[in-house]
Amino acid sequence: MYVKIERGSCVSCGACWNTCPEVFGQNPCDEYSELVEAFRFCGSRAEGEVPEELAVCAREAAGLCPVEIITVREE
């Protein structure tokens, strides 16, 4: 499952990483949301491939993002 975060528009509310910490975390430098390291494409903090078993929590997190910057879709 493809996941993308438009990190530059993140408001660091914490909804995604509190809802789905298996997929999302807070970057310690800029404080924006990022993908956990295991699922990143080529080291990208913003884009990656997440296992199917985490689809429900990733989608829930995307639905809770107040600025709607998380994309989750089947590849």
Which residues contribute to the site for ligand SF4 (CB under 6 A)?
Answer: 5, 10-16, 33, 65-67, 69-70
- Asked whether the beta carbons of 26 and 67 are under 8 A apart, the reply is no
**Token digits for 70?**
């998380």
State the pairing for strand pair 2-5/24-26.
Answer: unpaired
- The CB-of-17 to ligand SF4 minimum distance in angstroms stands at 7
- The CB-of-9 to ligand SF4 minimum distance in angstroms stands at 8
Residue 6 vs 41, nearer CB to ligand SF4? 6
- The CB-of-2 to ligand SF4 minimum distance in angstroms stands at 16
